[in-house]
């Protein structure tokens, strides 16, 4: 077996593990060095460091302090990596920790993070998903079962000081355009809950005060939440600092395009078996700004989909200009209404869209003023037939099982 370079103990606080960090900063020390061509294993906490529990209450989803996320394992240094290189990462395999064969999904309260459909689902809710080998199902959402498209929601290399400063300037200015918005427009550096890995003392305090939050995807990749960065894929990351400094976390057993439930996909603690290599000077050679990747040859594949359309007129009738976000929201709302006809609650339907390998396609972005987006639901994830027919839908789901909900206090 390849060496496990970073281990995590799920009974221990992530803050006590110095091979973990929850901010991006060039000064975070490498916790291990590897050679190009090496393969090794990295263990990770779930993104909340174990805050969300395997139980039937959504209180933890409601009460979480989101400034603590995401707990990443790393950074790993690669010998010979220099700024301008491409770090080639093969995700050889990914899995849940043996002692933790479950994951969670939920919606944050609108007052604590919100989410894509927070106007419609403003309160904290949660579902727990049990893993059965390569498959998962939830005791809170009957009638649906699917194989995992396992992937890290978050992976990327350390920024250099210039890139970090670009991020901070850009995002702080943006948040300041509406600083009291709920949910917030963005996340800004916040020292008190920062975990800076092996940095200590003043160096830590300085870096904690300016370290970029891990929430948004950025030029380096980071929290892209791309379900197709799945085990078996190959990713080409831009390198900004000597040694590259690769970190990762936020593992998902499965996720729908958009990660629309925000808390989040099917979130889990686990391990990543990966291999690293370098393309020297690859950023300039290939004109790379953001990571590029190749999908895995071994993924859950479906041929039969039911597809929902949405256009950029919002649910209150307002016209937006070629806005794909609004269009996708409509496609999602249309799908939720449809699934309710089979007996699901709106929250259950929303959760299915957030967890199952549904696809979100950008279908038209030029036909002014409406963008068109489509949501693709694989029909085979259901125990029953969800296709339309002349007789109308059957209520296969009787409503006796519901998702835990915790009202705001």
Query: Per CB under 8 A, which of residues 362..381 are in contact with a copy of itself?
Result: 362-374, 376, 380
Member of 330, 345, 348, 351 binding a copy of itself (CB under 8 A): 330
Member of 81, 212, 311, 397 binding a copy of itself (CB under 8 A): 311
Q: Is there binding between residue 295 and a copy of itself (CB under 8 A)?
A: yes
Q: How many residues bind a copy of itself (CB under 8 A)?
A: 126
- Closest to 118 (Cα-Cα) out of 324, 350, 344: 350
**What residues are paired with 313 via a beta bridge?**
319
Q: Is there binding between residue 387 and a copy of itself (CB under 8 A)?
A: yes
Q: CA-based angle 303:328:322, to the nearest 5?
A: 125
Query: Burial level of 79, CB count in 10 A (0-12/13-18/19+)?
Result: middle
Show contacts with a copy of itself in window 24-83 (CB under 8 A).
Answer: 39
**What residues are paired with 154 via a beta bridge?**
249
Question: Smallest gap, in angstroms, from Cβ of residue 203 to a copy of itself?
Answer: 28
Q: Is there binding between residue 286 and a copy of itself (CB under 8 A)?
A: yes
Q: Is there binding between residue 313 and a copy of itself (CB under 8 A)?
A: yes
- Closest to 64 (Cα-Cα) out of 107, 21, 103: 107
Nearer Cβ to a copy of itself (97/198): 97
Site track for a copy of itself across 241-280, x = CB under 8 A: ----------------xxxxxx-x--------x-x---xx
Which residues are within 8 A (CB) of 47 and not within 5 positions of it... i.e. 6 or more apart? Answer: 69, 70, 71, 153, 154, 249, 250, 264, 267
Contact 97, 49 (CB under 8 A): no
Q: Is there binding between residue 331 and a copy of itself (CB under 8 A)?
A: yes
The rounded Cα 101 to chain-centroid distance in angstroms is 19
159 vs 227: CA distance, rounded Å: 23
Q: Is there binding between residue 324 and a copy of itself (CB under 8 A)?
A: yes
Q: Is there binding between residue 305 and a copy of itself (CB under 8 A)?
A: yes
Nearer Cβ to a copy of itself (204/220): 220
- Closest to 57 (Cα-Cα) out of 401, 403, 352, 351: 403
Nearer Cβ to a copy of itself (201/392): 392
Q: Is there binding between residue 337 and a copy of itself (CB under 8 A)?
A: yes
Of the candidate spans 18-26, 45-53, 120-128, 386-394, the one that interacts with a copy of itself by CB under 8 A turns out to be 386-394
326 vs 345: CA distance, rounded Å: 22
Q: Is there binding between residue 350 and a copy of itself (CB under 8 A)?
A: no
**What residues are paired with 73 via a beta bridge?**
20, 248
Contact 26, 168 (CB under 8 A): no
**What residues are paired with 203 via a beta bridge?**
none
Nearer Cβ to a copy of itself (137/206): 137
Nearer Cβ to a copy of itself (119/132): 132
Question: Smallest gap, in angstroms, from Cβ of residue 19 to a copy of itself?
Answer: 21
- DSSP sequence for 145-193: EEE---EEEEEEEPPPHHHHHHHHHHHHHHHTTSTT-SS-S-----STT
Nearer Cβ to a copy of itself (60/314): 314
Show contacts with a copy of itself in window 89-108 (CB under 8 A).
Answer: 90-93, 98-99, 101
Nearer Cβ to a copy of itself (122/364): 364
Q: Is there binding between residue 190 and a copy of itself (CB under 8 A)?
A: no
Q: Is there binding between residue 334 and a copy of itself (CB under 8 A)?
A: yes
Question: Smallest gap, in angstroms, from Cβ of residue 205 to a copy of itself?
Answer: 26
Give, in order, the Cα–Cα distances in Å from 234 to each of 89, 267, 388.
6, 22, 38
Show contacts with a copy of itself in window 155-184 (CB under 8 A).
Answer: 166, 170-171, 173-175, 183-184
Q: Is there binding between residue 193 and a copy of itself (CB under 8 A)?
A: no
């Amino acid at each position: 077996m390849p060496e496990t370079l970073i281990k995590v103990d799920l009974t221990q606080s992530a803050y006590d593990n110095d091979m973990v960090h929850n901010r991006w900063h060039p000064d975070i020390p490498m916790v291990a060095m590897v050679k190009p061509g090496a393969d090794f294993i990295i263990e990770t906490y779930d993104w909340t460091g174990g805050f969300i529990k395997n139980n039937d209450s959504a209180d933890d989803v409601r009460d979480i302090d989101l400034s603590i996320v995401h707990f990443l394992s790393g950074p790993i240094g690669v010998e010979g990596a220099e700024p301008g290189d491409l770090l080639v990462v093969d995700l050889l395999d990914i899995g849940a920790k043996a002692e933790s064969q479950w994951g969670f999904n939920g919606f944050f309260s609108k007052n604590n993070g919100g989410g894509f459909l927070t106007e419609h689902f403003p309160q904290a809710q949660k579902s727990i998903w049990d893993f059965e080998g390569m498959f998962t199902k939830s005791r809170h959402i009957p009638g649906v079962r699917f194989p995992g498209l396992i992937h890290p929601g978050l992976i990327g290399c350390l920024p250099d000081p210039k890139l970090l400063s670009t991020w901070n300037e850009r995002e702080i200015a943006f948040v300041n355009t509406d600083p009291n918005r709920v949910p917030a427009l963005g996340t800004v550096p916040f020292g008190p809950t920062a975990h800076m890995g092996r940095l200590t003392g003043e160096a830590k305090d300085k870096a904690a005060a300016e370290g970029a939050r891990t929430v948004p995807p950025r030029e380096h990749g980071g929290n892209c939440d791309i379900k197709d960065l799945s085990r078996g894929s190959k990713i080409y990351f831009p390198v900004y600092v000597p040694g590259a400094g690769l970190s990762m976390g936020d593992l998902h057993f499965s996720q729908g395009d958009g990660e629309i439930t925000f808390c989040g996909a099917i979130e889990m603690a686990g391990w990543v078996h990966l291999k690293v290599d370098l393309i020297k000077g690859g950023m300039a050679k290939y004109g790379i700004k953001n990571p590029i990747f190749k999908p895995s040859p071994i993924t859950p594949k479906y041929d039969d989909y039911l597809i929902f359309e949405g256009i950029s007129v919002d649910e209150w009738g307002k016209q937006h200009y070629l806005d794909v976000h609004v269009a996708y929201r409509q496609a999602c709302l249309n799908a939720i209404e449809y699934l309710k006809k089979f007996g699901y609650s709106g929250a259950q339907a929303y959760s299915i869209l957030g967890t199952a390998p549904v696809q979100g396609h950008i279908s038209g972005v030029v036909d002014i003023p409406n963008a068109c987006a489509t949501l693709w639901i694989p029909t085979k994830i259901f125990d029953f037939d969800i296709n339309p027919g002349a007789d109308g839908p059957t209520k296969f789901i009787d409503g006796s099982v519901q998702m835990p909900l915790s009202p705001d206090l």
